[in-house]
Every structure is written in structure tokens, then in C-alpha cells.
Amino acid sequence: MREVELVVYRFDPEHDARPHTESFRVPLVREGMMVLDALIYIKEELDGSFTFRRSCREGVCGSDAVNINGINGLACITPLAGLKEPVRVFPLPGFPVVRDLVVDMRHFFAQYRAVEPWLKNDSPPPERERLQSPEARARLDGLYECILCGCCTASCPSWWWNGDRFLGPAALLAARRWLEDSRDEATGERLDALEDAFRLFRCHEIMNCMDCCPKGLNPTAAIAGIKRMLALRKS
């Protein structure tokens, strides 16, 4: 049976002085295997201590974002076939490693919370619901589908270097989603919070983020849209 060689990142802070890689051979037991199937095979059949996150196996939960042959993506929807061997699977770059492929995402989620990703509207609610026109709703397309996997933020050099102050593409995409929402009344306040040399303007439109988004979203364009809104309100 044909086998695929994987080189995976290993680091157990309780036992390892430093990170290292390990090589495993995984048999292609069926057609259409994904990288996640190979990781599960390693854990179940070769080394039970190997650690990674996953949940849905359908590209929906965003928990198995890793770096595969140098590109960030979801292991569960990345086919093994066609990948250059050995397939190198590393944790998301720029995130602290907790163990093996598991990274610490607390700062990433704190940055998401920092853009206050919820509806702000103090007007008395109508009897049934706050309606949107189909056109207003369509303006959210390409902004609301983010699954917070972190692939984009982990591919952004500006975030690697200034992640303590630059919000990064995922949080800024969320910020734009609420700036575009016709029901939201906090546009001015949201823009005030983003008008900052680091939080927003550290994006230099390098575009790594849009190249790797597994949902096909374009954080670069979303960020450019926020910059445009700021410029317009000045003019």
C-alpha cells in the first residue's frame, strides 16, 4: 500500500528542552484522505502522545488550522494527494506553542473581542426584529463567514512583529463586518477605536492573509475598506 511521509513539529514543554521534528509514514488506506486523517492515524496507530486540535472535520469549526508545507490552512480540508513529500506539518506561525501542533489562541481571541463584535443599537427595538433590506444584508457577504481559524493572522508579517498592538486581519475583518451592518449605531465610536497607527494602520497590504483563508475571504480588502471609511469621514 502506498505510504505518505509526514514530518511533524513536536514540542512538549514538560519534557523537551527545545522543539524538534519527527517523521512518520502513513498508509493511504482510502481515497481522498486529508492531512487531518494522517494526523489522526499518527495519533491512533503510531504515537498516542502526538497532540493537535480538531473537531468538525468539515472545515467549519476552524480548530485544526496548521501550517502545511509552508502554507496555513485547515488540515481537514487539505487533501494529502498532490502535496510535496515529506509533508511538513507545523503549528500556526507567530502563535505561542502549547504542545506539538496546539497553539495558544488567547491573544487572538482577545483581539477579536476588542473590536466588540456584536450589534450596538440603543434605539428601542421594534415589535418583531430589526430588519435589513436585502441590499443592506448583501453588504455583509464576505465579512460574516469567518470561522476564526487564525490562518490569516498567523500569515501576516505585520502581526508577527507587532501583534501586541496591531489587531491583525481576522479581528479587522470582524470590525468591518460591524461597520457595514445597517442596524449598528456605533460606527463613529468603532472608527474612533480603530484610528490608530498600530491597531489598523500596521496593515501594509502585503496580502498574505487573503491568500490562505480557507473560506475564501479577503481581509486585505476589508481592512482597506476601513481605511477608506476613515479617510471619507475626514474629508
Residues at the contact surface with ligand SF4, assessed by CB under 6 A: 146-152, 156, 158, 169-170, 173, 203-209, 213, 215, 217, 219-220, 223
To the nearest whole angstrom, how small is the minimum distance from the Cβ of residue 4 to ligand FES? Answer: 19
Nearer to ligand FES among residue 57 and residue 137 (C-beta): 57
To the nearest whole angstrom, how small is the minimum distance from the Cβ of residue 34 to ligand FES? Answer: 9
Which helix (H) or strand (E) element contains residue 174? helix 169-179
Identity of residue 176: R
Nearer to ligand FES among residue 83 and residue 175 (C-beta): 83
Nearer to ligand SF4 among residue 10 and residue 199 (C-beta): 199
Q: Is 63 in the site for ligand FES (CB under 6 A)?
A: yes
* Partner from ligand FES, ligand SF4, none binding residue 217, C-beta < 5-8 Å depending on class: ligand SF4
Nearer to ligand SF4 among residue 26 and residue 218 (C-beta): 218
Q: Which strand ranges, in their side-by-side order, compose the sheet holding 87-90?
A: 20-27, 3-10, 87-90, 65-68, 71-74
- Could you tell me the three cell numbers for 27? 498508509
Closest CA to 111 of 74, 162, 157: 162
Rounded Cα–Cα distance for residues 79 and 230 (Å): 41
Q: Is 80 in the site for ligand FES (CB under 6 A)?
A: no
Closest CA to 10 of 72, 91, 79: 91
* Partner from ligand SF4, ligand FES, none binding residue 57, C-beta < 5-8 Å depending on class: ligand FES
Closest CA to 95 of 153, 47, 30, 182: 153
To the nearest whole angstrom, how small is the minimum distance from the Cβ of residue 159 to ligand FES? Answer: 21
- Could you tell me the three cell numbers for 235? 474629508
